[in-house]
Amino acid sequence: MGAKVEWSSVNRLIAGLVAYVVLGVLVWTTISDPRIRLVTLAILAMFALKTWVRRRDFMHPDNDSE
């Protein structure tokens, strides 16, 4: 049962990161102002990083605690 929960979490992570990539491509193709484009991509990158860090905390909650 633990492995099933782990794979479900990995699948959700992959789906989330793919969604960020799709949003990034849409931003790149639709926003013409380079400054706004870069700011928007930076915000998306921060959300993707937050998703990745949160996934690591969820998968390994006891690594940091003593």
Is 27 within the bounds of a domain?
A: yes
Residues 6 or more apart whose Cβ sits within 8 Å of residue 27:
37, 40, 41, 44
pTM, two decimal places: 0.69
Give residue 66's pLDDT.
46
pLDDT tens digits, 16-43: 899 999 999 999 999 999 999 999 999 9
* 15 or 2, which is more confident: 15
- One-character DSSP codes across 4-20: HHHHHHHHHHHHHHHHH
Neighbouring residues of 16: CB distance < 8 A, sequence distance ≥ 6: 48, 51
Whether 64 maps to a domain, the answer reads no
In a domain, 44, yes or no: yes
Residue numbers of the domain that contains 8: 2-59
Please report the pLDDT score of residue 13 as a whole number: 84
